[in-house]
C-alpha cells in the first residue's frame, strides 16, 4: 500500500497528462479540420490554436507536476465544458460514454486540484 501512496499520484498524473498531451499533438497536422469541429459545437473556429496549445501545455504541466493544482482545475473545467458541448447526446450511447469519460477525467483532475501533485513532482507538494 505504501508503494501506491508513493507512486500512485505520479502514475495518475502521467496517464491523465498523456491523454491531453497526445490529443494536442495529434491535432497539430490538421488544426484547420479541428477548427471546423469546434464550429460544429458552437464555438468560434479561431479557438482551435488556443485549444491545441492548451491541451499540450496542461498535459505537460500535469506530467511533470508543475503548477499541478491550477493545471488540474483547468483540465476539469475543459473536460466538463467540452463534454457538454460535444458529447452530451442522451440518445447516442457512444457519445454518452464519451461524456461520462470526460466527467471521470474531471473528477480525477479535481483530486489533484484538492490534494496536489504528490511526491514526485516539480511542485514538491505532499499527496
Give pLDDT tens digits for 19-72.
999 999 999 999 999 999 999 989 999 999 999 999 999 999 999 999 999 999
| In the predicted structure, residue 96 carries a pLDDT above the cut 50 | yes
Residue 92 lies in a domain: yes
Q: Return the C-alpha cell found at 24.
A: 494536442
Residue 124 lies in a domain: no
Residues 31 and 48 sit within 8 Å (Cβ to Cβ)? yes
3-state secondary structure of 75: helix
| In the predicted structure, residue 125 carries a pLDDT above the cut 60 | no
Domains in the chain: how many in total? 1
The model's confidence at residue 124, banded by pLDDT at 50, 70 and 90, is confident
Residue 50 lies in a domain: yes
Residues 14 and 63 sit within 8 Å (Cβ to Cβ)? yes
pLDDT at residue 127, as a whole number: 44
Q: Which long-range contacts (CB under 8 A, 24 or more apart) does 2-9 make?
A: 5/127, 6/118, 6/119, 7/120, 8/118, 9/112, 9/115, 9/117, 9/118, 9/119, 9/120, 9/121, 9/127
Residue 126 lies in a domain: no
pLDDT at residue 123, as a whole number: 87
Residue 63 lies in a domain: yes
Residue 98 lies in a domain: yes
Quote the pTM value.
0.92
Quickly tell me which residue has 507536476 as its cell: 65
Residue 93 lies in a domain: yes
Instruction: Name the residue range of residue 67's domain.
Output: 2-115
Residue 69 lies in a domain: yes
pLDDT at residue 126, as a whole number: 46
Amino acid at each position: 500500500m505504501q508503494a501506491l501512496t508513493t507512486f500512485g499520484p505520479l502514475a495518475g498524473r502521467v496517464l491523465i497528462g498523456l491523454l491531453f498531451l497526445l490529443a494536442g499533438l495529434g491535432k497539430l497536422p490538421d488544426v484547420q479540420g479541428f477548427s471546423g469541429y469546434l464550429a460544429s459545437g458552437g464555438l468560434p473556429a479561431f479557438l482551435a490554436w488556443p485549444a491545441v496549445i492548451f491541451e499540450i501545455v496542461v498535459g505537460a504541466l500535469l506530467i511533470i507536476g508543475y503548477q499541478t493544482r491550477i493545471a488540474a482545475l483547468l483540465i476539469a473545467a475543459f473536460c466538463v465544458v467540452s463534454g457538454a458541448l460535444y458529447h452530451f447526446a442522451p440518445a447516442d450511447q457512444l457519445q454518452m460514454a464519451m461524456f461520462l469519460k470526460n466527467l471521470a477525467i474531471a473528477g480525477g483532475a479535481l483530486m489533484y486540484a484538492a490534494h496536489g501533485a504528490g511526491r514526485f513532482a516539480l511542485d514538491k507538494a505532499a499527496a
